[in-house]
Amino acid sequence: MHCLITAGPTYESLDKVRRLTNFSTGRLGSDLAGALKATGHEVTLLLGEQATWGGPFGGLDVRRFSTTAHLLERFQEAKSQGVGAVFHAAAVSDFTFGNVYERDESGGLLEVRGGKLSTRRGSLLAELVPTPKLIGQLRALFPAAALVGWKYEVDEGRDQAVDRARQQMVDNRTDGCVVNGPAYGVGFGWLRQSAPQEVRPVEDSAALLRLLCGWVDAGCPG
């Protein structure tokens, strides 16, 4: 099966020298790509330019991405390549920058522009504008593929994290979701659209890779 995997962070530019990004290393998605490759599947890894995990990548077809818009372009390039399963593990920036302002003497806001915003201006105010949810576009791009998303949750507890994972599957018509993060607690949870009330606990990343590779080997059963 041809598997498409995303890993690592996107970034969004404030100016020509500064960026907004996140803490994703890209290791889990990269390791999944390697594991699927080792079991005989064709694998394309879309890896963020800012990913700190350096491999090894074992001869994988690795294609880099930068911004959220660039990652969408990578998806669009792959849509005609017979992809059978998509694992969207990349940490896509939730926000990009809008306008940047400084305050004038009366307290009003004046828009600031420049290739490199100067600290001599003092404090600046930057708009954060939501980025498009790429996972919501995957079903249209890959209508026949098995789609798996990730849900990393920080606030509240395990029940709330699992509920958000279920909602992600409903909202985006995905076939499965991996949930983790401080809200979920130790390990991972594996959910499937065909049985959304069932949450399979997975103790660590090694066990998760075995589970997902087995799921693909079995033809991504519902």
Same domain, 69 and 151: yes
**Residue type at position 94:** D
Same domain, 211 and 201: yes
Least confident of 39-43, 74-78, 102-106, 186-190: 102-106
pLDDT digits (tens, 9 = 90+) for 143-161: 999 999 999 999 999 999 9
| Count of domains forming the chain | 2
pLDDT digits (tens, 9 = 90+) for 115-132: 888 887 778 899 999 999
Same domain, 204 and 115: no
Same domain, 83 and 189: yes
- Give the end of a domain, one of 104, 129, 154: 129
- Give the end of a domain, one of 129, 152, 178: 129
Q: Which of 139, 41, 20, 174 is nearest to 91 (CA)?
A: 20
Q: Are 214 and 207 in contact (CB under 8 A)?
A: no
Helix, strand and coil percent figures for the chain, each rounded to 5: 30, 30, 40
Q: CATH no. for residue 206?
A: 3.40.50.10300
**Residue type at position 120:** R
Same domain, 114 and 51: no
Q: Which of 178, 93, 88 is nearest to 135 (CA)?
A: 88
Predicted pLDDT at 120: 77
Residue 149 lies in a domain: yes
**Domain around 107:** 96-129
pLDDT digits (tens, 9 = 90+) for 50-79: 999 887 888 889 999 999 999 999 999 999
